[in-house]
């Protein structure tokens, strides 16, 4: 049955929840919900180590709808709800996906989808997504050619199918974020990927800087110096691109975007008033929370530290009150260079990479080479 307040609000888009300062203490902006671990691909960097078949113990339809009811607790009267990204595995492998999307819509919860590009992602399904109110989808494109991309996805034909899906989504009027893996062996192909994407229609391009977890532990991350150079390239590309360029798990991109403006004389307040600031503060556990297919709650899909399970406790309670989640929203608790950095409110570094490298999610992000000056502060 629909929640009694289900029709009281319109569906909220990504970015509707606003931070207090740069801390998302009341509610996350985005809830990433892994509907299933099942997937027809075998991607070399897969965080979830997805498998062909669903895992025992995945949330039932009834448990999933109770979770949607629980999400309503993040918002009081007149307040925005988090946006839900239904991911996987492949969310198209959930037979009850239409029911879950409808239940979210009934409750005023905005939904995006992150489908795998397999034979399940048909033209009819893409148009269905638009018809039922899916606000955006994400597609992965990990190279400028089939040799590059299919070599990552491990299924021949995926490159051509991804380009076809991108064009069908544009025809349907469905916004698309394209995700591209960035590793030591793939970074040199980024300019060619950009040129390819410039020939198509998309909302934004997200560069995912590898976190060495799941199958991704077998791949090699960029060095800090190389990462900085590619982030500078991304900043320049963002100024010229017909779509927005952003990063995932490379939060210091914000420093590189903001620093030239500060050097040119803008104050921090003026920078915070610019559109670029909409990403400020967002990181693992701050503005983001992840729910696994089994109901386990972690700060993000790339920071696999379990703080509880939605089958047993409220997601609202886990997000707001668990000590690790509270610490991740307080950059004054960060250690080393991240803790001392004048950009830590805007950036905060990848807590996932800090954990992957050191075992401590509050440590410095090892990918960032920036050394903050003693007692440095942003100009107000």
Instruction: Convert the pLDDT of each residue in 164-209 to its tens digit.
Output: 999 999 999 999 999 999 999 899 999 999 999 999 999 999 999 9
Give dist(CA 153, CA 151) in Å, integer. Answer: 6
pLDDT grade for 153, boundaries at 50, 70 and 90: low
Among 43-57, 139-153, 214-228, 282-296, the range scoring the smallest mean pLDDT is 43-57
Among 6-10, 120-124, 248-252, 351-355, the range scoring the smallest mean pLDDT is 6-10
Is 44's pLDDT higher than 70?
no
**pLDDT value of position 2:** 40
This prediction's pTM: 0.93
Is 49's pLDDT higher than 60?
no
Q: Average the pLDDT over 310-329 and give the result.
A: 98
**pLDDT value of position 147:** 83
The DSSP symbol for 300 reads B
Q: Which domains does the chain have, with CATH numbers?
A: 6-358 (3.20.20.70)
In the block, tokens 């399940």 appear at 120
Instruction: Pick 217 or 77 by higher pLDDT.
Output: 77
Looking from the CA of 57 toward its CB, the CA atoms found within 13 Å total 7
**pLDDT value of position 375:** 83
Give dist(CA 205, CA 366) in Å, integer. Answer: 24
Burial label, 41 (beta-carbon count in 10 A; 0-12, 13-18, 19+): buried
Burial label, 146 (beta-carbon count in 10 A; 0-12, 13-18, 19+): middle
């Amino acid at each position: 049955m629909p929640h009694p307040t289900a029709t009281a609000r319109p569906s909220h888009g990504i970015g509707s929840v606003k931070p207090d300062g740069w801390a998302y203490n009341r509610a996350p902006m985005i809830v990433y919900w892994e509907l299933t671990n099942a997937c027809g691909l075998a991607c070399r960097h897969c965080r979830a180590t997805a498998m062909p078949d669903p895992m025992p113990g995945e949330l039932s339809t009834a448990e999933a709808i109770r979770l949607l009811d629980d999400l309503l607790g993040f918002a009081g009267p007149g307040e925005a709800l988090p946006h839900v990204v239904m991911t996987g595995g492949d969310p198209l492998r959930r037979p009850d996906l239409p029911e879950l999307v409808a239940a979210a819509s009934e409750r005023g919860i905005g939904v995006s989808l992150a489908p795998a590009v397999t034979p399940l992602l048909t033209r009819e399904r893409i148009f269905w997504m638009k018809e039922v109110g899916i606000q955006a989808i994400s597609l992965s494109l990990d190279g400028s050619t089939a040799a590059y991309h299919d070599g990552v996805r491990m299924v021949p034909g995926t490159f051509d199918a991804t380009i076809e899906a991108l064009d069908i989504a544009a025809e349907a009027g469905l916004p698309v974020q394209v995700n591209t893996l960035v590793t030591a062996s793939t970074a040199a192909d980024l300019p060619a990927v950009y040129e390819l994407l410039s020939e198509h229609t998309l909302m934004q391009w997200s560069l995912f800087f590898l976190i060495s977890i799941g199958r991704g532990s077998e791949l090699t991350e960029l060095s800090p110096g190389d990462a900085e150079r590619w982030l500078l390239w991304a900043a320049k590309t963002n100024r010229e691109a017909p779509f927005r360029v952003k990063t995932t798990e490379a939060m210091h991109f914000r420093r590189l975007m903001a620093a030239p403006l500060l050097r040119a004389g803008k104050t921090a307040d003026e920078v915070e008033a610019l559109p670029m600031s909409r990403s400020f503060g967002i990181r693992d556990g701050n503005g983001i929370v992840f729910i696994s297919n089994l109901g386990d709650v972690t700060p993000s899909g790339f920071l696999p530290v379990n703080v509880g399970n939605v089958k047993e406790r409220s997601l609202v309670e886990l997000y707001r009150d668990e000590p690790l989640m509270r610490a991740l929203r307080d950059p004054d608790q960060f250690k080393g260079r991240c803790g001392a950095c004048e950009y830590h409110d805007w950036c905060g570094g990848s807590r996932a990479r800090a954990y992957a490298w050191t075992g401590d999610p509050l440590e410095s992000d090892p990918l960032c080479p920036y050394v903050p000056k003693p007692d440095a502060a942003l100009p107000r």
